[in-house]
Amino acid sequence: MTVAEEIEVTLEVGQEKDLPAEPYAQGEGVEREMHAILEIGVRGRGGAGLAGGRTPDGGPALAEVLIVDTSRSMLFPPAKLHAAKDATAAAVRLLPEGTAFAVLSGHFHAAVVHPGPDQPGLAVAGPGERAAAVRAVRILEADGGTAIGTWLDLARRLLKDHPAPVKHVLLLTDGRNEHDHRAAMTLETALDACEGRFVCDAWGIGDDWDAELLLRITRRLHGRAGAVREEAELTCAYEELVTGLLGTAVPELRIRLTPTPGTVIRQVKQVVPGEQELLPTEGPGRGTEYITRAWGEEVRHFQVVLAADPTGRERGEDLQLAAVEVVVPDFGHPVRLPRPRPVLVRWTDNPLDASRRHPGVRRQELYHQASAAVARAYRAWLRGSDGRAVADRELARALHLAADLGDPQLLDALRRIEDTPGGGRIRAGLKDVDWQHLILSSAMTTPPRHPAAEPPPDPGVPPDADALVECPGCGWLGPADSVYCGGECGRRLNGPSA
């Protein structure tokens, strides 16, 4: 890969630094929470995506498992099963030469459709293997029930020892996980076993799929949930999804947080393009790492919540609560990483200063409120005429929030269930699936209108790699390019407060 094709990762930290230094009320503790938004981007800078080719040692960059729901309900109407076959065949044809892949069918149990139950491991994409896989898909039949945990567990076992840096599962279902209690492995057990092993995108088709089920799977397995309104749309959706997957630039990206003494990491979660909780893993020194996977050329936002005690700290001075780094494990391609950035606090006795919130944090609160309003409207709608007034009121609230957010996709989804434009009332004749599409839409988020407020520091001339700087406040020693102390006081090491 040439310099022009080098992958670049960017990092911005957005926050309002002021927090109250005094308790809100007598008897309350003084620990405060700082909320910051990390804006992380990946730019491919030309060249093919990682998953569209091979690793430097010649192995496949992508291992793909396609799961087709073949429960009996896929026959009602038969167009669902036909669409599933067409879309799966289209996805197989798009797999590049050398890609490791398998096709599974799922009902009460899971079975390997290709390369076949008697073949160990995964197939290797080539003209013959792709054609054989398409033939096997074409003769699929539907019977039995739905037990998705067993489907995911078979995918896990197939992918377990494969060396491909990008491991991906694409799951399609038309129903609800109604036979989980009879399955050899429950969905929750399977998700525990599969988490961190691969990325899974889950799609719904037909009129009886469950949005919360798809979101439950994809939030645990770091994928995205989607659905089609018409069966004929599935092939195009699959082609777009696989094309995007083949553009994967970075298989794994880690967010490393190193808190200063006295700072506690409360939470790290992805908030754009959808909410996903990130689990901590141990990093070097005091650092904690949070793993994210399968990055194309895109920007994602993450919310970090840190807790700290202002007792004994300076007022009105920028102090570092934690350092943020982006780490990309070696996968044989050059990556330009951003410099570490600080998450800061400025303890203040001014309640007006302390009341400000970063726009990105406020935006996530509005999305939570909109999603909750949609959920309440749906539950009220299920009660029929008894819940009509509540459902209308919650729809109107969700519409107001979507307008405040300026989110055209969410507004469009809400207006699909509105009786008349601007009326704020639910139209008659809705089906349950209309609500499922709305629940998926309300789970998607878009970036705030304004970029992160804090500009990156001017790197200037790179310092001597062996040079150190000593903090005048606590004596901490660190790299000469450190902007903030990483020791007890967290103070700024240059400028008027040094």
45 neighbors 6 (Cβ within 8 angstroms): yes
**Mean pLDDT of the region 54-69:** 92
CB atoms near residue 279 (< 10 Å): 11
Q: What is the pTM of this model?
A: 0.88
CA-nearest of 100, 185, 200, 122 to 148 is: 185
Give ∠ CA 254-260-262 in degrees, rounded to 5: 125
43 forms beta bridges with 8
pLDDT tens per residue, range 118-170: 888 899 999 999 999 999 999 999 999 999 999 999 999 999 999 999 999 99
- β-pairing, 225-227 vs 199-204, is parallel
* pLDDT number for residue 207: 96
CA-nearest of 319, 356, 347 to 484 is: 319
pLDDT tens per residue, range 335-388: 999 999 999 999 999 888 888 889 999 999 999 999 999 999 999 999 999 999
Per mean pLDDT, which range of 269-283, 371-385, 463-477 is the poorest?
A: 463-477
Evaluate if residue 26 carries a pLDDT over 70. no
Per mean pLDDT, which range of 4-8, 402-406, 442-446, 483-487 is the poorest?
A: 483-487
CA-nearest of 295, 278, 298 to 329 is: 295
How would residue 497 be classed by pLDDT, with cut points 50, 70 and 90?
A: very low
* pLDDT number for residue 24: 53
Mean pLDDT of the chain: 90
More confident residue, 492 or 189: 189
* pLDDT number for residue 66: 98
Structure tokens at 340: 């570490």
**Mean pLDDT of the region 192-209:** 97
How would residue 56 be classed by pLDDT, with cut points 50, 70 and 90?
A: confident
